Amino acid sequence: MVGQPRLNLKRLWYFKTLADELHFHRAAERLNMTQPGLSQQISVLEKELGIRLLERGSNGVSLTEAGRALKDGADDLLAGADRLDQRMAALATGLEGALRVAYTRSAGDVGISDLVFNFRNEHPNLRLETSTGWTGRNLELLDQGEVDVAFVRLPLDERRPSVTVTEEELLVALPSGHPLASASSICSEDLRREPIVFWPRHQGPGFYDRVIEAIWGSSSPKIVMEESEAEQILEAVSRGVGCSVLDARRAMKLCPPAVTLKPLRKALKIGVGLTWATDDDRPVVKEFVEACRAHA
């Protein structure tokens, strides 16, 4: 059985500072205390341990063999105590344990992964568990309680809480030989006559509907192929199957040589945001939401 410790951590900290300086006046200044007060604390520590730690002389102080042994062990002991103190503080605020995050497919392209890792660095006792999926799937995971927060394409149903993290402009993807490929920009009317390669609505209903409404209005696009991945959409465009509309960063990152990207004449921006369960009031979720607001 472990007995009651004789070491007082505060006095050990005083001793460690003195052992580093080997000078009472300088050590007392570092500790923001008086020299007699420091001397008294060291004397109490020696009495508690039952051994002399210092040799005091006119030229300052030196460590005894016991003092050197205590100094060698003090760093690890004080560092461990500091880590334990930080963990207790994290537990007190709720910033301990795991935060389960669902990314969108383009999270890395819009800086979201940097936001998440910065949050992790600021809370070292927090464990991150991440997954990546489309907006529709991320919302399912959130509703099933399998993730705590989810990055999604906006807009969402107004009953869901959300914060916009960033916005992305959409670009038109055209086969390089297409007559519109030489235009400086593309208007909505041009796309209404074109075959379109699109993604399935269930992947992000709000995002899908927003794009359809902004470009095609009350009419319906002539969708000739649906692909779930941006790579496959761009591949189909490169083969002349049709045109498409994609978020700018991902489109530029994945664009094959046979595809030309053009801006819409009337720029269309779509938000990327964070959502969470309305009844989740844990401090770690609240803190992460605030970090996303600050990032925005």
For the chain, the domains span 9-93, 98-296
Looking at residue 1, its pLDDT comes to 45
Per CATH, domain 9-93 is 2.30.30.790: no
Rounded to two decimals, the pTM is 0.67
Please give the average pLDDT of every successive group of 10 residues along the chain, which has 296 residues.
Answer: 69 90 89 91 90 82 90 85 67 70 79 88 86 94 95 93 94 96 94 95 94 92 95 97 95 95 94 92 89 88
**In this structure, how many other beta carbons lie within 10 angstroms of the beta carbon of residue 27?**
23
**DSSP conformational letter for 184:** S
Instruction: Note whether 9-93 and 98-296 share their fold.
Output: no
pLDDT of residue 87: 63
Q: What is the pLDDT of residue 61?
A: 86
Q: What is the pLDDT of residue 91?
A: 58
* pLDDT at residue number 5: 64
Domain 98-296: assigned CATH number: 3.40.190.290
Give how far Cα 36 sits from Cα of 11, 24, 54, 71, 73, Å.
14, 9, 15, 21, 25
Q: Which of 133, 277, 130, 144 is nearest to 285 (CA)?
A: 277
